[in-house]
Chains A and B, each alone.
Chain A
Amino acid sequence: MTIVKIPPVLRQAVGGERTVQAAGTTVGEVLGNLCDQHPAVGAQILTPEGDLHKYVNVYVNDEDARLLQWTDTPVGTGDTVLILPAMAGGSR
């Protein structure tokens, strides 16, 4: 099981927890398992097609997952995954 750190914005969606355990061998599987356990998280971080939103950042043990292998990054027991939706927008 991987530890998923939940930022304040997503805590209500997981019943107020700061961390949640999720199963899987890759970042994508772990996030998929998290969204299965807590569908309200999926509503916030996934696109309508079910992909991880481009503006949601994911860190594995403090490393930017996009600089690793993104959703294919291997994870396991003892690893920590942090989800961080971006603060972003634009005038166009």
Chain B
Amino acid sequence: MRLTQAQADALVAHARAEFPNECCGLIAGRDGTATRVLPATNAEGTPFMYVMDPREQMQLMDDIETADEDLVAIYHSHTRSAAYPSRTDVELAFFPEPLYVIVSLQQPDQPVIRAFRLTRSAPEGEQVAEETLEVV
């Protein structure tokens, strides 16, 4: 998938604004190219878990569909761990089509953003596939 530098900056800014809690949101786009970053509320509001507010999730998904865009990615932050999906991330990855983007603030001055396709129903060891994330 492709992001502009401004969109990548927006992801990091959201992660920093919610620190030490995890942030979450959606990335809308077309053909794998992001058009909009849509921050959402982490209803769980903890450093170890994100659960997107379901009403907001519904509204944002409707908004993306109405705008004839695709849900390109679901993003969240890891505040103390690497930009790699945790076991919980995989277990709760109900959405096979959008990518899962993780923003890591493990090294606060060097944020890392990576994208993955998560398949919770796949056999152990085949559930996580990293995808190219280009900042253009």
Q: Report A's interface with B, CB cutoff 8 A.
A: 7-9, 43-45, 53, 55-57, 64, 82, 84-92
Taking a contact as CB atoms under 8 Å apart, the answer to whether A86 and B94 are in contact is yes
**Would you call B95 and A87 a contact (CB within 8 A)?**
yes
Chain B 112-136 residues near chain A, CB threshold 8 A: 121
- State the Cβ distance, A47 to closest chain B Cβ, in Å: 11
Interface residues on B, range: 35 or more
A91, B78: Cβ atoms closer than 8 Å: yes
Partner of B94, one of A56, A64, A82, A90: A56
- For A87, what are the chain B residues with a Cβ–Cβ distance below 8 Å? 24, 26, 40, 50-52, 57, 74, 94-95
Q: Which of A7, A9, A56, A89 contacts B50 (CB 8 A)?
A: A89
Cβ–Cβ contact A92 & B61, under 8 A = no
Q: How far is the CA of A91 from the CA of B74 in the complex (A)?
A: 15
Q: Which B residues have a C-beta under 8 Å from some C-beta of A?
A: 22, 24, 26, 40, 44, 47-52, 54, 57-58, 61, 65, 71, 74, 76, 78-81, 85-86, 88-89, 92-97, 100, 121
B86 and A91 within 8 A (CB): yes
Chain B residues closer than 8 Å to A7, beta-carbon distance: 61
Cα distance A53–B93 when bound, in Å?
12
Q: What DSSP secondary structure best describes chain A's contact surface?
A: mixed
Assess whether A89 is in contact with B121, with CB atoms less than 8 Å apart. Answer: no
Give A44 to B24 CA distance when docked, in angstroms.
Answer: 22
Interchain CA distance A83-B22 in the complex, whole Å = 25
Q: How far is the CB of A88 from chain B (nearest CB, A)?
A: 4
* Bound form: Cα–Cα A56–B54 in Å: 10
Cβ-defined contact, B95 with A89, below 8 A: no
Report Cα–Cα, A8/B67, bound state, in Å.
14
Contact A90 B86 (CB under 8 A): yes
Given contacts A43-B121, A55-B92, contact A89 B58 (CB under 8 A): no
Distance between A85 CB and nearest chain B CB, rounded to angstroms: 3
